[in-house]
């Protein structure tokens, strides 16, 4: 096991992509085996030393930022074993997502979760239930986690497969550690908002599966050291486009049409509807991703991509699986839809080749990166929303965002996962006065999302920066229920202190 206590070694582990200031730790552990992780936790638990679990620190809510105690980095747990026949992969928690994606592709397989930032670790992805653009069709990390190996706060190890430990009808989940110790957990009773994505607080459901409890628990319930993930067949290819719209109303009706065309939301099909107007065969629209850029986002991104057309109300990045056989028909189906919704087709970009698709994904990735650079340049903290609302509340929520942000006079961009009714509105304050106003605006957006029955975090998690908002969404009773879950698994409260809810709930 490697222990580092030198200031310069620890320095890199004191903040994450949120730039949350004030991080400090006395020790950094970089173990290379699960047994070493268990030993570190056993000692820390005996001494009551706080342990902050560190992935690749791409998180945006300060979850990996330590405030005392030690940092436990999983970066050396980096094994990948693919079983192509069973379409599963066993991975160490420290495996980098981009490396995993490349490795499984060598076997003709595909790992869909894709949180835009490919340098994150699988352990971090599971701990935050990362999702991203392609979750629109393929779902979030949760859908792919079949089994987990988790080291609990006292060093005991829990090896759990999906379906192995399920809560009873009274909402009690009983798990057994590898050493045979039994732990009883009372499943929280809150109702989950009816949104497509939600990582606001611990996951709960009727007959909760123990695997699901650890997914999205943000380093507070245990240290994930290994996972078994299911894989899909690698799609033959993708047809992708970034389409620009002169009018926002057209863009929004286009998004509705694509959502409604999804097979899980089938629209009534009239006889002959497999034929296009020009007589060609219609391939059904079945987008894997549907991403939004508002006019300000396009302006900001044009600093890096000067070929971005000007004067557009917004753009949509879409993608759909394709094969050589259906490529032309698919192109026809999208063309027809785009024409119907008045897209600026001649200014738009389309591709079926991997290199250009890579460029389109870079275009999408460049946006949050440019936002982060701008925030650092302004010497401010990022103020970015992560709420999701129900589909039928989405248009009114977007209007609310635009009204409040436009009237503020503060620079802003709105972009993200429009297919899932989940956008990121980012305020880019230039000075302290604007930062204070931005925080107030943020609070009003949170209140609006809660009022509409939405959630305060759809994908980035709560970490340390958003726990007041979780408290506003959940209220005392449910925070206490979450704290009870934590106490069952980590009685001394050493793991991920300050994440999800205030430490005060643990002593209650
Ligand atoms: C430019 C950019 C774009 C992004 N886009 C998206 C997006 O589209 N969708 C999305 O979901 N996220 C997005 N993120 C956020 C981030 O990439 C994800 O949250 C990612 O899953 C974090 O992984 P990580 O390894 O960096 O974890 P970290 O940031 O290191 O940690 C995140 C949390 O998980 C805990 N943790 C880490 N590893 C473990 C482990 N092995 N066991 C237990 N707990 C652990 C930490 O304690 C912390 O609470 C984006 C971030 C950036 C910078």
pLDDT digits (tens, 9 = 90+) for 267-322: 333 434 455 555 566 689 999 999 999 999 999 999 999 999 999 999 999 999 99
List strand residue ranges (DSSP E) for 262-410, in order.
Answer: 289-294, 314-322, 349-351, 383-384
Question: Which of 233, 264, 291 marks a domain boundary?
Answer: 233
Q: Are residues 109 and 242 in the same domain?
A: no
Q: How far is the CA of 257 from the centre of ligand 1 (A)?
A: 32
Q: How far is the CA of 48 from the centre of ligand 1 (A)?
A: 26
CATH number at residue 428: 3.30.70.2740
Q: What count of other Cβ atoms lies within 10 Å of the Cβ of residue 114?
A: 21
Q: Is the pTM of this model over 0.85?
A: yes
Q: Are residues 47 and 105 in the same domain?
A: no
Q: How far is the CA of 461 from the centre of ligand 1 (A)?
A: 9
Q: What count of other Cβ atoms lies within 10 Å of the Cβ of residue 318?
A: 27
Per the CB < 8 A criterion, the answer to whether 57 and 463 are in contact is: no
Q: Which of 29, 50, 55 is the pocket-test mutation for ligand 1 (most atoms within 8 Å of CB)?
A: 55
Q: Are residues 395 and 339 in the same domain?
A: no
In what helix (H) or strand (E) does residue 318 lie, and over which residues does it extend? strand 314-322
Q: Are residues 445 and 399 in the same domain?
A: yes
Which protein residue's CA is at the shortest distance from atom 7 of ligand 1?
A: 115
If DSSP codes are grouped into helix, strand and coil, which group holds residue 37? Answer: helix
> What span, in angstroms and rounded, lies between the C-alpha atoms of 134 and 361?
11
State the total domains in the chain.
Answer: 4
Which protein residue's CA is at the shortest distance from atom 9 of ligand 1?
A: 115
Residue 272 falls inside a structural domain: yes
Q: Are residues 216 and 125 in the same domain?
A: yes
Residue 465 falls inside a structural domain: no
**pLDDT over 90 (residue 116):** no
Residue 495 falls inside a structural domain: no
Listed residue (226, 222, 51, 225) closest to 152, CA to CA = 222
CATH number at residue 269: 3.30.70.2190
Average pLDDT taken over every residue of the chain: 93
Listed residue (288, 275, 289, 292) closest to 333, CA to CA = 275
Ligand 1 proximal residues by C-beta, below 6 Å: 16-17, 52-60, 63-64, 74, 93, 115-117, 120-121, 123-125, 127-128, 130-132, 218-219, 223-224, 368-369, 459-460, 463, 496, 499
User: Residue 135 is part of which domain span?
Assistant: 79-233
Q: Are residues 94 and 137 in the same domain?
A: yes
Q: Are residues 115 and 56 in the same domain?
A: no
Q: How far is the CA of 57 from the centre of ligand 1 (A)?
A: 6
Q: How far is CA 387 from the centre of its chain?
A: 12
* Residue 101, both tokens: 């994606």
Q: Are residues 284 and 197 in the same domain?
A: no
Reported as a single tens digit per residue, the pLDDT across 386-421 is: 999 999 999 999 999 999 999 999 999 999 999 999
Q: How far is the CA of 339 from the centre of ligand 1 (A)?
A: 39
CATH number at residue 155: 3.30.465.10
Give me the residue label for tokens 């020790």. 27
Q: How far is the CA of 155 from the centre of ligand 1 (A)?
A: 23
Q: Are residues 217 and 93 in the same domain?
A: yes
């Amino acid at each position: 096991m490697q222990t580092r206590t030198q200031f310069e070694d620890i320095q890199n582990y004191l903040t994450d992509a949120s730039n949350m200031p004030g991080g400090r730790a006395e020790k950094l552990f970089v173990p290379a085996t699960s047994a070493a992780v268990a030993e570190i936790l056993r000692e820390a638990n005996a001494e009551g030393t706080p342990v902050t679990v560190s992935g690749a620190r791409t998180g945006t809510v300060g979850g990996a930022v330590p405030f005392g105690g030690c940092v436990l980095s999983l970066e050396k747990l980096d094994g990948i074993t693919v079983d192509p026949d069973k379409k599963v992969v066993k991975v160490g928690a420290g495996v980098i997502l981009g490396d995993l994606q490349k490795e499984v592709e060598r076997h003709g397989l595909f790992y869909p979760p894709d949180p835009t930032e490919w340098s994150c670790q699988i352990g971090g992805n599971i701990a935050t239930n990362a999702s991203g653009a392609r979750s629109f069709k393929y779902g979030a990390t949760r859908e792919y986690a079949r089994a987990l190996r988790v080291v609990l706060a006292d060093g005991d190890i829990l090896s759990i497969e999906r379906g192995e430990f399920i809560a009873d009808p009274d909402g009690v989940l009983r798990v057994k550690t590898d050493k045979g110790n039994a732990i009883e957990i009372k499943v929280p009773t809150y109702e989950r908002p009816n949104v497509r994505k939600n990582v606001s607080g611990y996951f709960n459901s009727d007959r909760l599966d123990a695997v699901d409890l650890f997914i999205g628990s943000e380093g507070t319930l245990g240290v994930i050291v290994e996972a078994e993930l299911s894989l899909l067949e690698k799609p033959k290819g993708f047809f992708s486009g970034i389409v620009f719209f002169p009018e926002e109303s057209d863009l929004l009706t286009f998004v509705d049409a694509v959502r409604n065309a999804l097979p899980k939301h089938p629209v009534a099909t009239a006889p002959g509807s497999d034929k296009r107007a020009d007589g060609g065969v219609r391939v059904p629209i079945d987008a894997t991703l549907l991403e939004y850029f508002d006019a300000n986002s396009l302006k900001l991104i044009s600093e890096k991509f000067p070929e971005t057309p000007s004067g557009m109300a917004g753009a949509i990045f879409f993608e759909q699986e394709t094969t050589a056989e259906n490529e032309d028909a698919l192109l026809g189906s999208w063309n027809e839809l785009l024409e119907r919704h008045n897209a600026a087709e001649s200014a738009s970009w389309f591709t079926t080749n991997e290199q250009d698709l890579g460029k389109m994904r870079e275009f999408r990735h460049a946006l949050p990166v440019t936002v982060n650079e701008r925030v650092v340049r302004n010497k401010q903290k990022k103020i970015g929303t992560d709420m999701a609302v129900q589909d039928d509340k989405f248009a009114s929520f977007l209007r609310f965002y635009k009204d409040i942000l436009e009237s503020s006079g503060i620079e802003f961009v709105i972009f993200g996962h429009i297919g899932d009714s989940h956008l990121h509105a980012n305020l880019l304050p230039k000075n302290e006065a604007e930062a204070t106003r931005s925080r107030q605006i943020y609070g009003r957006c949170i209140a609006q999302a809660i009022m509409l029955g939405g959630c305060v975090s759809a994908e980035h998690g709560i970490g340390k920066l958003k726990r007041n908002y979780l408290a506003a969404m959940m209220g005392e009773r449910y925070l206490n229920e979450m704290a009870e879950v934590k106490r069952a698994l980590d009685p001394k409260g050493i793991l991920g202190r300050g994440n999800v809810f205030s430490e005060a709930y643990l002593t209650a």
